[in-house]
A and B are shown apart, each in its own frame.
Chain A
Amino acid sequence: MSMIEIKGLEKSFGDLEVLKGIDQNVEEGEVLCIVGPSGSGKSTMLRCINRLEEPTAGEIYIDGELVTDKNIDSMRTKMGMVFQSFNLFPHKSVLENLTIGPLNVKKANEAEIKEKAMKLLERVGLAAKANEYPRNLSGGQQQRVAIARALAMDPEVILFDEPTSALDPEMVGEVLDVMKDLAKEGMTMVVVTHEMGFAKEVANKVIFMDGGYIVEQGTPDAVLNHPQEARTKDFLSKVLV
């Protein structure tokens, strides 16, 4: 059984068809990277998985269970999400950003979750910032906190929506390093990214999307080094200067 199964996923915004029928599975422990030009539907596909966008048609299964409006809140506890713009809670300290979900959604024990949150902050190298507020952190630090926040919920999979696109270039590395560590530890990850280097190094599978379809998919080597489709070749020739 796949961890995520996407069947016949379609999404329109008014008259604009963004996704025109996506079928895709994500296996446990797999790192799936989604690449493609802007407007190709990559982020929309990711956001449909945890229903931040409601699919127009099609089905999403997590651990074999169909995601619906009714069970979405509990399903989301299995799927962490990391956003392009971090979206940390500015009125909460770094530590509280990590604990607010588990405390309120999972009714976790406060002492235990604080201890766990501190360990996660240590893991992303930010234990010293536990009592700071997000506004006092750099973009790279904020994104590492956002990853730790997702991990604090013990998710089975983490969805990354262009996690390094809003970062200054010198901060991209620190965030990618944290993501690489996660991948090594066997975390299932779906990553929408423009970082081809990351995709080549870490992904088990890469899909190239364009115009609302998956145009090409396979190993990073196959898709990124030896693309078959003209559109993939064209896109890669532009991004891999």
Chain B
Amino acid sequence: MDVYLKGFLIACKGIPTTVVVSLIAIVLGAALGLLLALCSQTKSKILQVIAKVYVDVIRGTPMLVQALIMAYGVPWLLQSWGSAFKWDNLGGLVVPAVIVCGCNSAAYMSEVIRSGIQAIDKGQMEAARSLGMTHGMAMRLIIIPQAVRVILPAFANEFVTLIKETSVLGYVGVVEILRRGQLWNSSSFETFPAYIGVALAYMILTIPLSKIINGYERKVARRESAA
């Protein structure tokens, strides 16, 4: 059994990296996602098209490919233009990893946020505007706070998905949970215990999170039915 425990503990060493990358990425993704959602709701055709193309491109390509482009393709391109660009100079390959996870998550978050905003009764916007609020003020004070409650479970689900998706980052040199397991496997040849350890390490992150989401959804459902 010791070898399984060892595999689990080694995989767990990757947890801080996975959690930090996921956390920064989800914040980046939420901010960028909100911006995209607002763009898709404006009257400006150009902003609408930009948001649409962004979402289509990101959702239409695997995150691993996006990570390879960002981590290796972009430096290659910049260097071919004569720049001395290297991710190492900016803090290492974890930087493009975070950027890619954030940008990827933003495309999914923007859809979640857009549907959350659309779920708010349009009378709310009218009431806010009739008090003399600008569109921006009404969004900030009235619409978005209500939309947040609607989208919180979907937001948390996106976070769970993101944690699992960061497993592709091992391919671009980030030593997170899966990469830890792979490295140990290639030196110890304890293949089954290594990957079981990796799976368990992901589960201790994702399962409590899912439980929290379910609890929140039940609480909201109870409150709604009581009202």
Interface check B142, CB cutoff 8 A? yes
Q: Does B126 contact A (CB under 8 A)?
A: yes
Give how many A residues have a beta carbon under 8 Å from the other chain's beta carbons.
25
A37 within 8 A of B: no
Residues of A within 8 A of B121 (CB): 85, 87
**Cross-interface CB contact of A73 among B123, B133, B149, cutoff 8 Å:** B133
Q: Say whether A135 faces chain B, with CB atoms less than 8 Å apart.
A: yes
A73 with B132: CB separation less than 8 A: yes
- Chain A, range 164-211, C-beta contacts under 8 Å to B: none
Q: Are B124 and A101 in contact (CB under 8 A)?
A: no
In the docked arrangement, what's the CA distance between A106 and B126, Å? Answer: 18
Question: In the complex the two chains form, is A76's CB within 8 Å of B129's CB?
Answer: yes
Minimum Cβ distance to chain A for residue B135 (Å): 9
Does B127 make an interface contact (CB < 8 A)?
yes
With A87-B124, A91-B149 known to touch, is A79 a contact of B130 (CB < 8 Å)? yes
Interface residue B145 (Cβ < 8 Å from any Cβ of A): yes
Contact flags A86-109 to B (C-beta < 8 A → 1, else 0): 011111000000001100111000
Q: What chain B residues lie within 8 Å of A87 (beta carbons)?
A: 121, 123-124, 126-127
Q: Is A50 an interface residue (CB 8 A)?
A: yes
Residue of B nearest to A100 (CB): B141
Docked-complex contact A80 and B146, CB < 8 angstroms:
no
Q: Which of A61-86 contact B (CB under 8 A)?
A: 73-74, 76-77, 79-81, 83, 85
The reply to whether the CB of B227 lies closer than 8 angstroms to some CB of chain A is: yes
Task: Please tell me if the beta carbons of B146 and A91 are within 8 angstroms of each other in the complex.
Answer: yes
Evaluate contact between A81 and B127: CB separation under 8 angstroms: yes
* Chain B CB within 8 A of A153 CB: yes
Does A57 make an interface contact (CB < 8 A)?
no
Interface footprint category on B = 10 to 19
Cβ B227 vs Cβ A76 within 8 A: no
Q: Is B134 an interface residue (CB 8 A)?
A: yes
Residue of A85, A91, A101 touching B132 (CB-CB under 8 A): A101
Which residues of A45-66 are within 8 A (CB) of B?
50, 52
Q: Secondary structure of the B side of the interface?
A: helix
Query: Which of B121, B129, B131, B141 has most A Cβ within 10 Å?
Result: B131
Q: Encode contact with A along B118-158: 1 for CB under 8 Å, 0 otherwise.
A: 00010110111111111001000110011001000000000
CA distance A89 to B127 in the complex (A): 8
Is there contact, CB below 8 Å, between A76 and B131? yes
Interface residues of A in 105-147 (CB under 8 A from B): 105-106, 135-136
A85 close to B123 (CB less than 8 A)? yes
A104-B137, A105-B137 known; A90+B146 contact, CB < 8 A: yes
Shortest distance from the beta carbon of A36 to any chain B beta carbon, whole Å: 22
Find the B residue at minimum CB distance from A78: B132
Q: Select which of A74, A79, A91 is within 8 A of B145 by beta carbon.
A: A91
Question: Which A residues are in CB contact (< 8 Å) with B124?
Answer: 87, 89
In angstroms, how far is the closest chain A Cβ from the Cβ of B142? 6
CA distance A91 to B121 in the complex (A): 13
Q: Say whether B131 contacts A101, CB under 8 Å.
A: yes
- Which of B128, B132, B133, B145 has its CB near the most chain A CB atoms (within 10 A)? B132
**B contact residues around A79 at 8 Å (CB):** 130
Pairs of residues from A and B, 5 with the lowest C-beta to C-beta distance, nearest first: A101-B131, A87-B127, A77-B132, A81-B130, A87-B123
